[in-house]
Amino acid sequence: MKEIIAFIRRHQVPPTKKALENAGFPALTIQSVEGRGKQYGIGGWAAEVDPELNKVLKPQHADETRINWIPKRMLSLIVQDDEVERVVQTITQVNQTGHVGDGKIFVCPLVEVIRVRTKEKGKDAVS
């Protein structure tokens, strides 16, 4: 089993949830997070929604409105090994715009999964 952790833009949560559900993956956890990549945050108040605005911001104004921590959403879901590629493709198709900040996806191995209520383990704990 694997845990897939994806960081995406806030406004992309509804279409991502719908695409994952349509692909057969309705169970996930979503958290509000803040972070930044190698670009040290994106300039402009609306850059999260429209990255093209970064190109038209005046240099002196861009410094004043620099955002160091970008609000994002973190999605986490547990899948079987043979489902990883389908989930990654689904998330990528919905979120890929070609602009900085489209997100990141991490695929992590799981050593064990236990359902607390029944003490089921492994595949039985997540099915």
- pLDDT tens track for 65-101: 555 678 899 999 999 999 999 999 999 999 999 888 8
| Cα 84 from Cα 88, distance rounded (Å) | 6
Domains of the chain and CATH, by start: 2-37+72-126 (3.30.70.120)
Name every residue whose Cβ is closer than 8 Å to that of residue 25 and which is 6 or more positions away in sequence: 77, 79, 83, 87, 90
Single pTM value for the model: 0.79
Structure-block tokens of residue 91? 């998330």
- pLDDT tens track for 22-50: 999 999 999 999 887 776 665 544 555 55
* Per-residue model confidence (pLDDT) at position 47: 56
